[in-house]
Amino acid sequence: MARLIRVIVALVAVLLVAAVGVFVVSNHRIAARYALPTHAPFAGVGSADSATLARGEHFATAIGKCEGCHGADFGGQIFIDGPAVFGHFVGPNITRDAGGVGSAYTDADYELAIRHGFAPNGRALVFMPSDNFSRLDDADLSALILFLEHAPPVHRALSPTRFGPVARALLVAGKLPIFAAARIDQNAPHLPAPPVGATAAYGAYMAVVAGCTGCHGAGLGGGHVPGTPASFKAASNLTPLGIGQWTEADFFRALRQGVDPSGVALDPFMPVHETRLMTDTEIHALWAYLHTVPPRPFGSR
């Protein structure tokens, strides 16, 4: 019996040491600070004419899908409310209300958050998909910032984001890639987008900034999305090995109506509420780009 007690005590001690280690390492990663990029400073947003604001709203909804985390009115919301052991994740209020981050953000601060994935104080933003938005060119980014700066202020009390022990353990193990800032080349130059048109070049731009590569992988081969629960359905293969038998009309129905060629509803994880707002030109461009993607097996991302 005494030996069993010693074994139990030793196991408890090991678990306690491991738990403390996970807490310390995860705290270090959560609190990490990033240096300002060394590329040329963001030039600013220009004037808020109606066409620019409309373009910004389109990017915020159909392309950037900002409301998925920040709410339909951009006033913030809980977007993951898992068991206490996992965590509670909140998209902040990004309007100009006194309680929103927009009340204190400058144009340059918005640029750091959107394209670089960290706050003005250098801390990495949680679940901010800046590895997609880092490709946004200055004109599209300016339109988006102007729209957010002119969006109606929303007053909403929000609970803070909390990391549970499971989320912390996954973060330490490298299985919860929620800090895009760590994956971005922070000093890469920001290039202009291809001209808007139903071209493969513009479709390649859309595939990144609209988040297609974020879920389906850089090679669009599909598979399990890193950082999502194992129960989540894997993203589809968008290469010719996955949708090679689709027609362009099938592709339009998928993005506009959320059904596959046989009429079966796509997985709810597919953001059809947003993709249905994409323009015909943007969808044509994506379709043109997919025809240039090399075939890849499912799961290759």
| Same domain membership, residue 170 and residue 100 | yes
Of 44-48, 91-95, 172-176, 214-218, which range is least confident? 44-48
Establish if 119 belongs to a structural domain. Answer: yes
Report the domain count for the chain.
2
| Same domain membership, residue 239 and residue 139 | no
**CA 22, 28, 31, 35 torsion-angle sign:** negative
The pLDDT of residue 20 is above 80: no
pTM check: above 0.85? yes
Closest by CA position to 127, among listed 190, 94, 80, 74: 80
Establish if 115 belongs to a structural domain. Answer: yes
Question: Token pair of 211, please?
Answer: 């988040």
Establish if 2 belongs to a structural domain. Answer: no
Mean pLDDT of the chain: 91
Site of tokens 């992988």 = 217
| Same domain membership, residue 78 and residue 175 | yes
Establish if 157 belongs to a structural domain. Answer: yes
- How confident is the model over 206-223, as pLDDT tens digits? 999 999 999 999 999 999
CB burial readout 152-183, b (16+ within 10 A) else e? ebbeeebeebebeeebbbbbbeeebebbbbee
Establish if 92 belongs to a structural domain. Answer: yes
| Same domain membership, residue 152 and residue 65 | yes
Establish if 27 belongs to a structural domain. Answer: no
| Same domain membership, residue 282 and residue 169 | no
Establish if 117 belongs to a structural domain. Answer: yes
The pLDDT of residue 8 is above 70: no
Domain hosting residue 94, numbered range: 50-182
The pLDDT of residue 56 is above 80: yes
- Rank 75-84, 163-172, 281-290 by mean pLDDT and report only the highest: 281-290
CB 90 within 8 A of CB 77: yes
Question: Token pair of 178, please?
Answer: 């929620």
| Same domain membership, residue 152 and residue 92 | yes
Cα separation, 136 vs 115, whole angstroms: 7
92: phi then psi, degrees, rounded to nearest 5:
-70, 160
Establish if 250 belongs to a structural domain. Answer: yes
